[in-house]
Structure 1
């Protein structure tokens, strides 16, 4: 199973739209944070039929350290053909 597939499966175990720290996800998937971040960024591009929206959140803390979070929500694309 690819890191992308494992990331989707992991994010489905969390409440929708709740950001999860990157280091927590990386530890659970037993991958490097860079691998998880790359998978998350790949999931930002949605294809017709995708009904899950993955978001990568970058925040700079007061100490200047960048923190990353991932979240997923069920947001279907309106990709159905128009009826005429």
Structure 2
């Protein structure tokens, strides 16, 4: 599973899968870590909130189905 995910991240032909992969990574790796850190020290709550906002952005992109491949949203033209 991890190898397949890594391959998808590096494959330009599969770049449309990136938002979905990011949501999966956040759900399986990032959120549990941040939630555990916040339980130890509530001072880290802003990190958890940032992770949730980041997930929301990637989720919107994955539902939209379109990925902007240009640098910072600028076209090469």
Q: Note whether the superposition's TM-score is higher than 0.5.
A: no
If the length of structure 1 is used for normalisation, what is the TM-score? Answer: 0.27
The structure whose residues are more often helix, as a share, is 2
The structure whose residues are more often strand, as a share, is 1
